[in-house]
């Protein structure tokens, strides 16, 4: 008998400090179902799959579906316990009239993958709004990632999944439309060691020497210093990489590189790296910027980027050793 998401959230809400978190995640899950429906109808409806509708705060092309997803999660945030909403699709945070939480969100990460039917997702992070933030709620986003109350991501793919943590392990829930909701699939546990790495190797010439040497050595396999063969997977969709690693281990790297705009990597600290890092750590893995724990990094601004390495603890530690050696 599957445990329903509602029953799980009732358990979470039994802790008074997490009651509003549980109620907010319940609302986010309803928005995710709405987004899944919009994605699944494909290019039939121009309203959601129309061509680019503009640019987001970072100058990235916005697709109609990015805007659709942002509006769905904005409504969900406003009708739950969110006071301040920070989104990749919004230049500045949106402040509501009341609430106790700060929601940092990438409403639809990897939307360009939809045209090729590759899984995409929504990544979210919930932080507490303290009394000291009341005058300037957006300052709640300046907290360390380790202050997150909850985090997770929805995957819009062959299945609609929710992967989440409230700091007591990481769980996956599957949406079963016929049963009218999400149900617990499993608690995630990342193997400490791994033979699988995930990186966009076309950027090799831009990497630091430490990263370049780590990838060169894993590619050398049993003939090289690692003494064993590795496999490589790269989807180009953060939620797909994260879920694969949660399921079977591995290590993902999106390092800083020498291209303009990539000196801090590509991925966003507040609404991609922090929530993924929280889920990965709670499943027994590690997440760093190459050398420093992601959840200990002080945020710079809402749309700040950070280099990101996450997955099986032993490989994340090995990558840090390669970076330290090459920088010595």
CB-based contacts of 188: which residues, under 8 Å, 6+ apart?
A: 163, 169, 170, 171, 172, 246, 247, 279, 283
Taking CB under 6 A as the binding criterion, the range among 19-27, 149-157, 160-168, 235-243 that sits at the site for ligand P6P is 235-243
Euclidean distance between CA atoms 295 and 143, whole angstroms: 10
Nearer to ligand P6P, 237 or 288 (CB): 237
- The reply to whether 306 sits near ligand P6P by the rule CB under 6 A is no
Contact by Cβ (8 Å): 84, 213: no
CB of 266 to ligand P6P, least distance (A): 5
Contact by Cβ (8 Å): 310, 316: yes
Binder of ligand P6P out of 109, 196, 257, 281 (CB under 6 A)? 109
Q: Rounded to whole angstroms, what are the CA distances from 266 to 110, 203, 254? A: 12, 12, 7
Per the listing, tokens 């990497």 go with 207
Nearer to ligand P6P, 171 or 266 (CB): 266
- The reply to whether 238 sits near ligand P6P by the rule CB under 6 A is yes
Residues that bind ligand P6P (rule: CB under 6 A) add up to a total of 7
- The reply to whether 42 sits near ligand P6P by the rule CB under 6 A is no
Nearer to ligand P6P, 99 or 110 (CB): 110
- The reply to whether 89 sits near ligand P6P by the rule CB under 6 A is no
Binder of ligand P6P out of 110, 145, 157, 255 (CB under 6 A)? 110
Euclidean distance between CA atoms 319 and 328, whole angstroms: 14
Nearer to ligand P6P, 109 or 289 (CB): 109
According to CB under 6 A, which residues from 194 to 213 bind ligand P6P? 200
Taking CB under 6 A as the binding criterion, the range among 31-39, 157-165, 236-244, 312-320 that sits at the site for ligand P6P is 236-244
Euclidean distance between CA atoms 258 and 310, whole angstroms: 21
Nearer to ligand P6P, 200 or 327 (CB): 200
Euclidean distance between CA atoms 160 and 34, whole angstroms: 11
CB of 200 to ligand P6P, least distance (A): 4
Taking CB under 6 A as the binding criterion, the range among 95-103, 124-132, 231-239, 282-290 that sits at the site for ligand P6P is 231-239
Binder of ligand P6P out of 237, 274, 286, 288 (CB under 6 A)? 237
Taking CB under 6 A as the binding criterion, the range among 2-10, 44-52, 147-155, 230-238 that sits at the site for ligand P6P is 230-238
- The reply to whether 119 sits near ligand P6P by the rule CB under 6 A is no
- The reply to whether 39 sits near ligand P6P by the rule CB under 6 A is no
Contacts to ligand P6P by CB under 6 A: 109-110, 200, 236-238, 266
């Amino acid at each position: 008998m599957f445990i329903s998401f509602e029953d799980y959230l009732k358990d979470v809400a039994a802790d008074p400090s997490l009651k509003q978190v549980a109620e907010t995640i319940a609302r986010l899950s309803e928005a995710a179902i709405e987004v899944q429906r919009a994605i699944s109808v494909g290019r039939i409806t121009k309203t959601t799959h129309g061509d680019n509708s503009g640019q987001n705060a970072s100058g990235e092309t916005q697709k109609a579906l990015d805007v659709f997803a942002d509006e769905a999660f904005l409504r969900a945030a406003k009708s739950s316990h969110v006071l301040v909403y920070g989104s990749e699709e919004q230049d500045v945070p949106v402040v509501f009239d009341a609430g106790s939480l700060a929601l940092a969100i990438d409403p639809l990460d990897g939307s360009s993958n939809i045209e090729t039917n590759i899984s995409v997702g929504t990544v979210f992070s919930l932080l507490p709004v303290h009394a000291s933030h009341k005058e300037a709620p957006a300052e709640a986003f300046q907290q360390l990632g380790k202050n997150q109350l909850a985090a997770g991501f929805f995957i819009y793919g062959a299945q609609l999944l929710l992967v989440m943590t409230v700091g007591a392990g990481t769980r996956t829930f599957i949406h079963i439309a016929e049963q009218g909701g999400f149900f617990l699939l499993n608690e995630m546990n990342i193997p400490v060691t791994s033979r699988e790495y995930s990186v966009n190797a076309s950027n090799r010439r831009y990497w630091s020497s430490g990263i370049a040497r780590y990838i060169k050595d894993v590619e050398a396999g049993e003939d090289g210093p690692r003494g064993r063969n590795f496999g490589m997977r790269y989807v180009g969709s953060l939620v797909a990489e994260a879920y694969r690693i949660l399921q079977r281990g591995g290590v993902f790297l999106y390092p800083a590189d020498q291209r303009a705009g990539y000196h801090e990597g590509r991925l966003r600290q507040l609404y991609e790296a922090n929530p993924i890092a929280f889920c990965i750590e709670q499943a027994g893995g590690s997440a760093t910027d190459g050398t420093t724990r992601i959840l200990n990094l002080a945020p710079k601004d809402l749309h700040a980027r950070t280099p990101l390495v996450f997955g099986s603890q032993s490989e994340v530690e090995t990558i840090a050793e390669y970076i330290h050696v090459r920088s010595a």
